[in-house]
Structure 1
Amino acid sequence: MLKPTVGPIIGHTTTRHARIFIRGNWQKNTSVFAGIRYRRIGEERWSNGVFTQLTLERDMSDVITLDDLAADTEYEYQAGWLSPMNPVHTVETVQELPVQWPRDIYRLRTQSSKANTPRAYIVGSCRYLRMTAGVPSAPHLGDRIFAAIADLALSTTPPISAMLMTGDQVYVDDLNFIAPDREYKEILAKYRTAFSQPHIAKLMSAIPTYMILDDHEIEDNWPANKNSRDDHLYKNAMSAYELYQASHSPAHELNTQGQISSSLNQYWYQFANGDIEWFVTDSRTRRNLSANDRRILDFDQEQALCNWLVNSPARVKFVVTSVMFYPDRKRLGNDAWQAFPEQRLRLLETIRTHRIKNVVFISGDVHGSLTSRLTHSEDTDFEVHTIVSSPLCNSKLLPYAKASTFILDQPLGRTAAGDYRHELMGKVISQDNFAHLMVDAEQIHVRYHNRDGNLLQSTRIALNQD
């Protein structure tokens, strides 16, 4: 067997289940299969290989599911692909072959089933990796921060439960004004290169990674900048996104055989780690820009989010939105929630009137990081926070956000019941960074680190205990 050409990437992982993305390579006139075998740390005997057939329709990639795992348990696994000499092999017959597995051994940990156990997460967005004529320019610059994340993950307690990549994992339009990528093969090549750099590849082989798109997976400020020729671009961009980002996410349900369903009804999804739950929104592809019903989330998604906020028993509720929920920007704010104030206010009123506690909005996009607290002038029980982490790697063509970028001296919104007011809980970070979140019984520790892993800022969000 040969090493994967992209991956392995650990996706959605529960107490008993893990999804792992692998890509092989096309071989003329013969079938290609990918496989994984695994065992608990300390055991000698490997499991039987779990195999899948790779096809050009999926860019020679697929997601393999591992089931019946033990909770809160560390496993090691091997992954690879092969092309048997006999072209009539099937997934079943390949399992009987005496294959030689690649030497690389990876590790994964299943989630704990215990509530109230401390958990930790990595959050980041906007990873710029310039590609020129299909070749990355100085790729180490777009990869170095993942070495720092991996080092932190190896040395910190509690273990990292997941990494949330909240948008712009690739820049399809990195040469937007010169030669933007529009063809499917060009976009696929960008994903392959972005996800196969050494440090990010090592990190994603060990930590469950959850992704959601933002505009640069398609083009800048999509769909506001869409023109009549962009349907072709959108189809190609989303086909690639579905393969490389959505395929290993909870957006895909499992069929009756325990395998990932081929159908994909939406890009937004939910997942849980004990008493901490996440709702990852699609704030990009379901927008309605019409004057009479402006929405950043479509009707069904808004209803699902509100129902989850009201009915979920989770102690902490994280809502991921690739663009900023608040604070608003002084300029160029029409691409974020600032341009959809009615829908934002509906969500805030749902949280306030139902007295929902410990809601935190997670976002990126602005190439600056911050933590902010939102309160209500007449309702002292209301409190919501936002954690923004961006960028993982900036382009020299784009500025970093600063405190002066945001509107900080005005209420976020006004209703007959009172004003929504916000305040920063620390400085705005204007350099490449990632966020390390640690959630315990009493608080959320928010720690921002620079691209070398050095601590930039630490903030604590107290959790309501009611």
Structure 2
Amino acid sequence: MFKPTVGPIIGHTTTHHTRIFLRGDLQKKDSVFAAIRYRRIGDTQWSSGIFAELDPLRDLSNVIALHHLHADTHYEYQAGWFGTDGTKPSPEALRQMPLQWPKEVYRFHTTSSEITTPRSYIVGSCRYLRMTLGVPSLPSKGDKIFGAINRLVQKSWPPVSALIMTGDQVYVDDMNLVSPDREYREILDKYRAAFSQPHIQALMASVPTYMILDDHEIEDNWPAKANSNDAALYRNAMAAYEIYQASHSPAHESLTEGQPALELKHYWYRFAQGDTEWFVTDSRTRRNLAVDDRRILDADQEQALLEWLINSPARVKFLVTSVMFYPDSKSDDGDAWKAFPEQRLRILETIRIHKIKNVVIVSGDVHGSMTSRLRYSEDPDFEVHTIVSSPFCNSAWLPYAKASNFILDQPLVQTATGDYRLELTSKVISQDNFAHLTVDVEKIRVEYRDSNGDYLDAVNLALHIPL
């Protein structure tokens, strides 16, 4: 057996289930299979091998789902791929094969079933890994911060429950001014290079990773600049996105035999851990730019989001949107929520009217990080926090955001009955960074750290505690 050429990547993980992505490679004209075996740490007996065929139509990748796991338990696993001679073997023949497993042993941890146990998360976005003639330029720069995250994961308490990547995990359009990548093979090369660098590979092999796309997975400010020639670009970009980012996410429903369904109804999804729940929106591919009904989220997604806000029993609700919900930028490129004020107001009014507590909006995109708080002038009980974390690794061609880039001295929204006003609750960080979130009973602690893992800033966001 051979080591995976990309992965393994631990995806959606619950108390009793996890999904593991991996990619192999071609081997003449033989059938190619991936295999995983696992055991609880401390046990001596490995499970039987679990196999999945690797299809060239999915870039020789697949996702293997493990079921009937134990909650809050550390597991170790081995993963690899191999080719078979001649005809495709039966499942029984696969199980009887004398396999030589790769020596690498990876670890993952299932979710705790305790409702109120403290949890921590890593949040970030915008990882620039420029490709020149198909080869990453200065790959260690684009991978450095993930080494720092790995070191933090090793010592963090509470343990890191998930890595949340909120957009621009790859820059398909990094060379747009010179030689834009538009072909399917070129885009697949971007993903293979981005996800196989040593530090990010080690991180994603052990920490459940949840992703959602932003514009650079397709094209800058998509779809505002789209034209009739971009249909193939979009088709190619989304096919690659579905393989490398969506395949191991909760957007796929799980089948009884353990394999995620191939058909995706949409890219947005939800997942819960104890009394903390995440709604990860697709604020990029379902936009409507028509003047009479501008939407950043399609109607079905908005309805699902509002119903979740109102009905979810979660004590803490994280709403992920790849682009900034607030504060608004002084520039107006029509790309963020500022350009969709009616839909934004509907969400805010739902939170206020239904008196929904502990809503935290998480985003990236702007190449600057900060926390801020939104209040309503006529309702002292209304409060919504936002956490922005960006970038993991910036391009030398792109500026970092500063506080002076944002509108902070006037209401976000003025309504007939009152004003929504915001204030920064942290400094604006203008360098490569990531956020470490710890959710406790009384607060969410947000720590920003640089690409070496060194402390930059921290803030405690108070949580409402029911009487």
2:410 maps to 1:418: no
Residue in structure 1 matched with residue 150 of structure 2 by the alignment: 150
Q: Distance in 2 between matches of 1:4 and 1:29?
A: 19
Residue in structure 2 matched with residue 10 of structure 1 by the alignment: 10
Residue in structure 1 matched with residue 284 of structure 2 by the alignment: 284
Q: Distance in 2 between matches of 1:225 and 1:5?
A: 34
Residue in structure 2 matched with residue 295 of structure 1 by the alignment: 295
Residue in structure 1 matched with residue 68 of structure 2 by the alignment: 68
Q: Distance in 2 between matches of 1:99 and 1:256?
A: 27
Task: Identify unmatched segments of 5+ residues in structure 1.
Answer: none
Deviation for aligned residue 1:256: 3.0
Q: Distance in 2 between matches of 1:256 and 1:395?
A: 44
Deviation for aligned residue 1:312: 0.3
Residue in structure 2 matched with residue 165 of structure 1 by the alignment: 165
Deviation for aligned residue 1:85: 2.7
Conserved in 1, the CA contact under 8 Å of 2:66 and 2:258?
A: no
The one-letter amino acid paired with 2:35 is G
Q: Distance in 1 between matches of 2:78 and 2:256?
A: 26
Deviation for aligned residue 1:195: 0.2
The CA RMSD measured in Å over matched residues stands at 0.7
Conserved in 2, the CA contact under 8 Å of 1:52 and 1:91?
A: no
2:251 maps to 1:251: yes
Q: Distance in 2 between matches of 1:124 and 1:152?
A: 14
Residue in structure 2 matched with residue 113 of structure 1 by the alignment: 113
Q: Distance in 2 between matches of 1:96 and 1:278?
A: 42
Conserved in 2, the CA contact under 8 Å of 1:270 and 1:279?
A: yes
The one-letter amino acid paired with 2:308 is W
Conserved in 2, the CA contact under 8 Å of 1:11 and 1:21?
A: yes
Secondary structure, in 3 states, of the residue corresponding to 1:292? helix
Q: Distance in 2 between matches of 1:11 and 1:187?
A: 21
Deviation for aligned residue 1:333: 4.4
The one-letter amino acid paired with 2:170 is V
TM-score where L is the length of structure 2 = 0.99
Secondary structure, in 3 states, of the residue corresponding to 1:382? strand
Aligned length: 466
Q: Distance in 2 between matches of 1:90 and 1:284?
A: 42
Residue in structure 1 matched with residue 405 of structure 2 by the alignment: 405
Q: Distance in 1 between matches of 2:423 and 2:409?
A: 9
Q: Distance in 2 between matches of 1:89 and 1:198?
A: 33
Deviation for aligned residue 1:96: 1.2
Q: Distance in 2 between matches of 1:260 and 1:327?
A: 37
Residue in structure 2 matched with residue 126 of structure 1 by the alignment: 126
Deviation for aligned residue 1:227: 1.0
The one-letter amino acid paired with 2:6 is V
Q: Distance in 2 between matches of 1:296 and 1:367?
A: 20
Residue in structure 2 matched with residue 322 of structure 1 by the alignment: 322
Residue in structure 1 matched with residue 392 of structure 2 by the alignment: 392
The one-letter amino acid paired with 1:275 is D
Conserved in 1, the CA contact under 8 Å of 2:64 and 2:258?
A: no
Task: Identify unmatched segments of 5+ residues in structure 2.
Answer: none
- Which range moves more in the overlay, 92-101 or 175-184? 92-101
Identity %: 67
Q: Distance in 1 between matches of 2:361 and 2:398?
A: 24
Conserved in 2, the CA contact under 8 Å of 1:317 and 1:359?
A: yes
Deviation for aligned residue 1:89: 1.4
Aligned 1:34-73 pairs, distance under 5 A: 34-73=34-73
Deviation for aligned residue 1:86: 4.1
Conserved in 2, the CA contact under 8 Å of 1:29 and 1:87?
A: no
Q: Distance in 1 between matches of 2:254 and 2:319?
A: 23
- Which range moves more in the overlay, 43-52 or 254-263? 254-263
Deviation for aligned residue 1:151: 0.1
Deviation for aligned residue 1:29: 1.6
